[in-house]
Every structure is written in C-alpha cells, then in structure tokens.
Structure 1
C-alpha cells in the first residue's frame, strides 16, 4: 500500500502551522501529501489509534549495541527493532564495539549493515585510535564515510593537548567532537556518587567535582581553539551552570543528559542493585532539579537513553566488579513523559538532530514522512515484558512510566507495535 492515512492525530511540532491541532495526515510514497481536519482517501490504509499524537521522528544521540564483537549483548538487527519499537527514527551508534569504530572500514560496516532500515543509523567514530586516548583516529576519512561525530564512549580524554588538536583539526570539515565529562585523576576508582549514600553503603565515591573540573577544562580549550564541542550526559547542578555561562559567551557547545540522571537519584543504591551502576553515577535530588530546569530553559539540548546493554555475567556480580550501564531505549519516552509535559518531552527527543547534522523534517505538506506515533497519556509499571533488548539490565525496571509509543514512519516504511 503506497498511501497511508493517519486519522485524528494531534500534531506536536512547533515548526508546523498545525502544532497542537488534531488533523488527518495523508502520506503517499513517503511524502506528507495532505494535512486537513478531515481527509477521505478510499485507497489509503487507515491508521486509527487511541489518542494518537505525532511528532517529528525522535533521535537518540547515544546508543550502544554490541555488534561487531559483543553480539551476546545486542545485535544490530535486534537493536534496530528495539529502537523502532521505542519511537526512534534515528540513532547515533557509539563505536564501543570490538574492534572499535576508529576507521573508514568500521563506519562502512555499520552503514552497510543498517542501510534501508526504518531506523536511520548514524555511526559515531572513536576520537582516538582503539579508543585508547593516545592518537587521533582517522577523523576525516570517517566523516566522509558518514560518521556524525567523534567520541571515545564514556572514556575521558585525559590529554588536554589531544582535545585541543582535535578541536582545531575538525574545524576543517565541520566535525563534532564529544568529550566525556569526568576527570579520572579525581574520580579514580570511584563507583557511585560521592555523597551521604556512598559513605553509608561503604562504596567508593565519584565526586561531582570530577565532572565539573573536566567540563571547565574542556570549555577553556574550546574558547581557545574554536570548533564544535558536545558534552554528553552531564549530571550535576554546577555542570548546568558552567554550560549556561559558556553558551552566553557564544561558545559552540551543546550537551545532553541521560534519562537515568534525570529521573533517578543515588537513593536507589541501597540494595546494591547493579542496574543502578551507571556512568555518570546517579546523583542527588538537588542535581535533578537543576538538570530539569536546564532542560526546560534550553541549557541542556537533549535527552538520551544512554542505551548500554550488558550480559547477565557483567551485571550479576559484586557491585565493585559489575559493568557500568543500563539499557534505556524502551523506557526513555515513558520515563521522560512521567516528569515533564509532552512538548518538553518532544523537544528533548528531537533537540539534538541539527547539532549532529541530521536534517529535520517538519510535520507539514510536502515534507518527507519522518514521524513518531505515540499516546502521551496512561501510566504503567515498566517490567521485563516491555523489554525487547537481548540484555535486560534496565535501571527503570519497576518504575511507573507514562505514555505509549505506537510506532514510527520513516524511509517510506511504517513500523507499528503489535
């Protein structure tokens, strides 16, 4: 069927003249042909869903799967199915694989493996060779093959000069550099946020200072060099202030926050559940309050699921030895919707597209259909039955989420959840 008719859909898109209006939307051959109060098209396949809302397709700026090398955590095929079910029409796929994505051939592999899927995959090349933090990787070659940014996933760039050179070099081809906000000399062997809970539980702490020092250093370097910097997954009150001040100065910097750090505090750690062992570590209510304020006022540019699958062996072990990370694609929208209004949710899930060089397509006549279909209402308890990822290490298990994802429309394909 080449035509699809979405009936009675509330459009959530501030760039569209139909924003917050209930409309019928006719899509033919992947293009939005008509938007009107009522459309009759006998040849079209009608989609009628309870309280249907549609927005521009969502983008997740930090996703890990496993393939190549760690297929037991997650394959690309099942990972893309998970992303589609979770409402994402585009994801930035980190190079935390084996081998890492540090060359042209690695980027080609990902692009070839994911071509034509309903979910668009944008590979993130590592900033350094083998993600070791010593020598810059083949940045220009990777960019020409389709890498949208450069990031050693959750590995701090210890060498300030290396970041300086990266920021200078990437200006030649509009490259986007990411720098993980943690100073390892301060964090050392810390496991969780350094606060009252870490002391009570006898767990080594990662001070907020380790994040804030690294961000301060990175912003000084950016001011010196120019270039484009993205700071992924900030987590502290002071970090929000630092980035707000940098933006006021006119520095070309953006940042994201992980859904885990926006919803969960280090109070969750009392049972030593390793699903809550994440990076950045879960912080305090005071930090969450500032992060939410930063998201609403635009200091924070977007929310990421920070989807990071790990096997049972990696997680069902002593807290000290467990891997960092939680899956988050399936729960990201519901967790976000439970704490902010719908317009803020959609802005948070689409706000980083332009920064990562992804063309935004408004919900308007003549545009390509790049849509997420959802119902913003209704609460439920997130459980394993909602997880389609191979790995089940979810920090949101047992939490009350709000809203339902119906599916996505992209690349002339529609994907609807059963």
Structure 2
C-alpha cells in the first residue's frame, strides 16, 4: 500500500526535515521519500489544512479492561479511541481480571492486539493478583513482552516489597511505574482536601498522601539504583522531590495528566462524577504550579490516565461513583487548551520522545528508510467531541470546544484518519 502525505509540517527534532513543510511518501509501512512537490500514484492521499506530522505518540497508563472488564472497554474499542486520539502506542494496565501478572496473561494481550491499529504494550503486575503481598514473575513477563511493571491503580504500599521489585527489575533494565499514594492517609477521601471539600461536605484526600510516597520511593530507588516512574503527580512538593532526585543522578521520571492541568477541585461544585478521578483534582494554586512545571520542562511526559467506566459506575451518588475518565481522544486538545503557551515541539516531546526515552522504546525518526510511525495533528484546529470511539462515555470534555485537533495516525501499515470537521 502506498500513502502520500501532502504538505505536512514535520515536527521531529531527530529529523533533518524538522520544521519544514514536505510531502512524505510511504510504501508498505516504510518512508520511501520526503520532499516538496512529490508526484506519484498513491493508493491513499492524506491532505488536510494545517497538517502537522510527528513521531507516533505514546500513552503510558491506559486501562483497556480486557480481560474481565470488557463491559467498560475492550482492546478493540480502546485501540480505536487511542487511534482517534493520535496515539500509535499504548501501555495497558494490569488491573484486569485476572490481572496481567503472568507470562500467560501478557501473551494473551500481545496476541489479541496484534492486528489492531495501535501497538498495545502490556504493563506487567509487580505483585501477584495486584494484592501487594508477593512479587509476580516479572522476568517471565518481560520476556513475553511486558513493557514495564506496575500495580496500576493499586500502587505498591509495602516498602519492603517495592524494594524487592526495584532490585528485581534492575537485572532486566525495566521501569516500575507508581501512582504515588499512601492509601492509609485520607483513606476515605473522595476529593482534594481543602476549602472546596469542606464547602461540599465531602471527605478530603490530602496531598501529603502523595508526597509521603514520592519521598519514600525515591529513597528506595536511590538504594537500588533502579528506574522508577511516577505518574499522576499532582503536588508541587512532589515535583521538587523528583527534581532533586534527577539532579542527584537517579533514574527517576514523572508524568502528569491533562485533566489535572485543565480542571480544579472547584469544578466539582455540581458533584460531576466524571470529574471524580484518581489522584483527585487539586486547587487552583496547585494547578498553576503544575502548568508552570510542564512549561519549564520539569515534567517528562503527559499520561492520559484513560480509565473508562460504564454508565452504572458513574451515574450514581458521588460517594459511590468509580474514579476515572475516558480521556485518550481529548488529551492533545485538553493539553493545548490548558497550556496555550506550550510550543508544538514541547507538546510532541511530552507525548512522544519523552515517554519513548523513559521506557527505552527507541525514537522513530521522520526520515527516508524509517518505519512510518506517525501522528497527524493540527495545533491551530479546534476539537468539539460529540461522540466517542471508547466503549465508555465518561469523558467530561465531550461537548466542549478545545484548542488543537488530532487528524489521525499511520502506524506501519495501519492508517486511521479522523473525520474532517463539518
């Protein structure tokens, strides 16, 4: 199959064509030619106003629910949402039933997702059954295709167990991902602890629960000299701890979510369960610090934290609603809207080269002879999502007009183009 991408602005610091407007000819998933005014017969022509092309984006913390929770999301619907959101690669969480805690489960995901438009990369569990008691067989999972290790939305609480896990993954040069949360602090919290939680009469979750875990885990990473990634970071003090760890030479990195940059706890005034997320939304002052940290380069990646929930888990009283939102399709636009001063190059770094560097995926370059792993987008376009490719619709951005628009992806031989604006 031959695909001609016409008049595209290339955004790739590793490419000799970075910043140039070029045509790109792709044959059977490989970039054959890059230049201006390419004339050739192609099976498909990609032509869009404002078209920008970058190396494929990577989502590092998404729950596709398969196996066990297919009523929330499946590998097929999750991959469709990811492609619509501009992602060529997605790390899927082990929070399934059964958990992704063995070679067999990792191989299942690899086989079941082999023909999907995005590359699905399973995260192996750190502990058996995500129970936080015994280590899972991480070496076997790594050999079967596990891209990293985490207990996902149930972060490892026992210091001694995480210490063993960090020692274990060092031998295979793998990364452990933690949502930093000491679950014994504010265990019944439903939102950020502060003025708004008091006003709404909801029990609060203090940022201290995150900060304690970040400080502890950094000490463990220093002791083991292993790789550790914090995702869903929301606290300015956590960012400071992580900055110091990096400066001391530790292999520690972090990511934040687009919704923690967009919304604040004040947006919960109407008890919108789609905004009940984990970790919780923080106050306005904290969000401003997070935004500044992203702009200044203190954050290594953006993670969508795609957590689809079925209707019955969200259309209930706030106390009983399950946390999380469906977010893959709106991450780019939410990021561009929350941070209008964020450069296009920095946006691509947060979505592509940042996560690829952390997890050793290599950096596909937009150059002749390279595999075509590309994301298409228009930073000046508009997004107003009225429907979703995800099986679950718990996305608070539905119906909102956002800055920036995803146009599609080309992942090897898989081409997905979003419908043009009407």
Q: TM-score surpassing 0.5?
A: yes
1:348 match? 350
How far has the Cα of 1:116 moved from its partner? Answer: 3.1
How far has the Cα of 1:291 moved from its partner? Answer: 1.7
For structure 2, the 5+ residue unaligned runs are none
304-313 vs 179-188, greater mean Cα deviation: 179-188
2:408 match? 407
* Alpha-carbon separation, structure 2, partners of 1:375 and 1:360: 22
How far has the Cα of 1:83 moved from its partner? Answer: 0.9
Q: Is the 8 A contact 1:303 1:349 kept in 2?
A: yes
Correspondence list, 1:209-358, <5 A: 209-338=208-337, 339=339, 340-350=342-352, 351-358=354-361
2:105 match? 106
1:173 match? 172
How far has the Cα of 1:344 moved from its partner? Answer: 2.2
2:417 match? 416
Q: Is the 8 A contact 2:325 2:395 kept in 1?
A: yes
Q: Is the 8 A contact 1:257 1:304 kept in 2?
A: yes
Report Cα offsets for 1:158-197 as digits up to 9, x if no partner: 2101111111111111121112201112121111000110
How far has the Cα of 1:380 moved from its partner? Answer: 4.1
1:359 match? 362
For structure 1, the 5+ residue unaligned runs are none
* Alpha-carbon separation, structure 2, partners of 1:249 and 1:20: 34
Q: Is the 8 A contact 1:78 1:389 kept in 2?
A: yes
Q: Is the 8 A contact 1:117 1:411 kept in 2?
A: no
Report Cα offsets for 1:214-254 as digits up to 9, x if no partner: 10010111111111111111011111111111100111111
1:156 and 1:413, CA in 2 relative to 1: closer, same or farther beyond 3 A? closer
Q: Secondary structure at the match of 2:176?
A: strand
1:69 match? 68
* Alpha-carbon separation, structure 1, partners of 2:299 and 2:411: 27
Q: Is the 8 A contact 1:208 1:236 kept in 2?
A: yes
232-241 vs 292-301, greater mean Cα deviation: 292-301
How far has the Cα of 1:320 moved from its partner? Answer: 0.9
Q: Is the 8 A contact 1:335 1:402 kept in 2?
A: yes
1:387 match? 388
How far has the Cα of 1:38 moved from its partner? Answer: 1.9
1:399 and 1:235, CA in 2 relative to 1: closer, same or farther beyond 3 A? farther
2:114 match? 115
2:193 match? 194
Q: TM-score, normalised by structure 1?
A: 0.96
1:50 match? 49
Report Cα offsets for 1:300-347 as digits up to 9, x if no partner: 111011100111111111111110111101111111122233222211
Q: Is the 8 A contact 2:344 2:379 kept in 1?
A: yes
CA RMSD of aligned residues (A): 1.3
Aligned residues: 415
Q: Is 2:372 aligned against 1:369? A: yes
2:153 match? 154
1:36 and 1:142, CA in 2 relative to 1: closer, same or farther beyond 3 A? same
* Alpha-carbon separation, structure 2, partners of 1:24 and 1:54: 10
* Alpha-carbon separation, structure 1, partners of 2:16 and 2:330: 30
Q: TM-score, normalised by structure 2?
A: 0.95
Q: Secondary structure at the match of 1:343?
A: helix
